[in-house]
Structure 1
């Protein structure tokens, strides 16, 4: 029996952050329990001179999906990536990272997910990897095509570039097509509809463009059913729930206020990227 949808949520309003930069929050920072391990999801449209110059993070990971344009990543480890439409960037901040994300000459339209890390892994070494669109597993069926960046779908499987396990799929369905999305026990996931309209879950809850549907496989491995009522493009994210306290402030996500204070102290003293294990 397919999982039922826990709730439907809509993206927030689009805001102007500065010259040539607009942003909206799809998953807003909030009480983290019902969203764990997902911290937030931001959608950005930006072009030079806008961008995200060098800045810090600790205690979490970012998963960035490029919808259009080009993004250029650099960090203190020497990692460098130039991502195009359909590419995904996995970055583990761990104990500390200093990185920048800047648009290519024509600008970029991106989705960036913040993924939590459990306490035992928050101080892991920073790392970075790209998953190119052409390298994603391509799965086709009756009326659908899925690009699998991480996780499992049918007989296909891709390793997750994040430290914390993650499933990530780019889905395109014709009207009337259906697809069953696997959900492992203890995992929470959401379907973000980018275009069109679909029915999600055992109760066939209607989800429209700019909305996302949440589900949680609490008791056993299960499936989340997706049925397109119009041509649909959607992204599917899923990961194991982390049942721990979350204290987030600015670019740092830890478990206690003292750990947040330590993160700021390490950043201000220049030790952020050397304090991790």
Structure 2
């Protein structure tokens, strides 16, 4: 039995946050439980001299999707990489990371998802996994094309680069094309429409550009039907729910206030990235 959409929400307004830097919060929960394990999703347009110089994280993961341009990243271990349009970076902050994310010479348009980690994994070693667009699995059918970065679609399957399981796919559909998105039992997913318009879920809820539709498979593995009402590009994210308290402050996401205080103390005293 196909899933129905739980709710449809709209991205926040686009705003100037600094010279050559615009940003909007696509997903900005006031409470975390209905969105778990997704913490928030930010969209940025930035070019030199704007960017995100070296900054810390602990207790979560980021999933960065480059829509246009180039992003250059470095971290405290000396790791360095460049992401081009269609590339994705999975970054596990775990117990602590210091990294920077800067635009290439012509700038970058990116989406960055913050993905929670359960308490048992929050202090894991930091790590990166870059996935190139050319390495994603490409699945096509009648009027649709799916670029699979992580998870499963049809007979195709890709390992997730995140520590916490994640499905991620880039969808392109012609008007009238239809497909079914898999959602495993206990997983929550959302469809973000970048361009076009679609009917989503068993009830055919209409989702337009800059909106996202949510669904949760609570009893068994299921599917979320999708039909394009106009030429469509959308991203689909899904992951298992983490039913734990969330305390987020600045760049740190933990389970208790005391753990947040410890994270700030470790950062201020230079111990954030020390092995544990």
Q: TM-score, normalised by structure 2?
A: 0.99
Mapped partners of 1:182, 1:197: distance in 2: 20
Q: Please name the residue that 1:170 is paired with.
A: 170
Q: For each residue in 1:105-152, what CA deviation from the matched residue of structure 2 results, as whole angstroms up to 9, or x when unmatched?
A: 000000000000000000000000100000000000000000000000
1:19 matched to 2:19? The reply is: yes
Q: CA deviation at 1:30?
A: 2.0
- C-alpha contact (below 8 Å) 2:29/2:35 kept by paired residues: no
Q: Please name the residue that 1:144 is paired with.
A: 144
Q: Unpaired runs of 5+ in structure 2?
A: none
Q: Please name the residue that 2:126 is paired with.
A: 126
Mapped partners of 1:211, 1:78: distance in 2: 38
- Give the match's secondary structure for 1:120: helix
- The count of corresponding residues between Structure 1 and Structure 2 is 276
Mapped partners of 2:71, 2:179: distance in 1: 31
Q: CA deviation at 1:162?
A: 0.2
Mapped partners of 1:234, 1:262: distance in 2: 39
Q: CA deviation at 1:77?
A: 2.1
Q: Please name the residue that 2:64 is paired with.
A: 64
Mapped partners of 1:29, 1:66: distance in 2: 23
Mapped partners of 1:31, 1:181: distance in 2: 26
CA RMSD of aligned residues (A): 0.6
Mapped partners of 2:274, 2:237: distance in 1: 31
- C-alpha contact (below 8 Å) 2:45/2:108 kept by paired residues: yes
Mapped partners of 1:72, 1:148: distance in 2: 23
Q: Please name the residue that 2:55 is paired with.
A: 55
Q: CA deviation at 1:29?
A: 4.0
Q: For each residue in 1:17-46, what CA deviation from the matched residue of structure 2 results, as whole angstroms up to 9, or x when unmatched?
A: 000000000101420000000000000000
Q: Please name the residue that 1:160 is paired with.
A: 160
Q: CA deviation at 1:88?
A: 0.2
Q: Please name the residue that 1:243 is paired with.
A: 243
Mapped partners of 2:63, 2:37: distance in 1: 13
Q: Unpaired runs of 5+ in structure 1?
A: none
1:167-246 superposed matches below 5 A: 167-246=167-246
Q: Please name the residue that 2:91 is paired with.
A: 91
Mapped partners of 2:146, 2:272: distance in 1: 39
1:73 matched to 2:73? The reply is: yes
Q: Please name the residue that 2:105 is paired with.
A: 105
Q: CA deviation at 1:81?
A: 1.3
Identify if the C-alpha distance between structure 1 residues 257 and 24 changes in structure 2 by more than 3 Å, giving closer, same or farther.
same
Q: TM-score, normalised by structure 1?
A: 0.99
Q: CA deviation at 1:49?
A: 0.2
- Give the match's secondary structure for 2:34: helix
Q: Please name the residue that 2:32 is paired with.
A: 32
More displaced stretch, 72-81 vs 58-67: 72-81
- C-alpha contact (below 8 Å) 2:39/2:115 kept by paired residues: yes
- Give the match's secondary structure for 1:266: helix
Q: CA deviation at 1:78?
A: 2.2
- Give the match's secondary structure for 2:265: helix
Mapped partners of 1:259, 1:155: distance in 2: 42
Q: Please name the residue that 1:3 is paired with.
A: 3
Q: CA deviation at 1:73?
A: 0.7
Q: CA deviation at 1:205?
A: 0.3
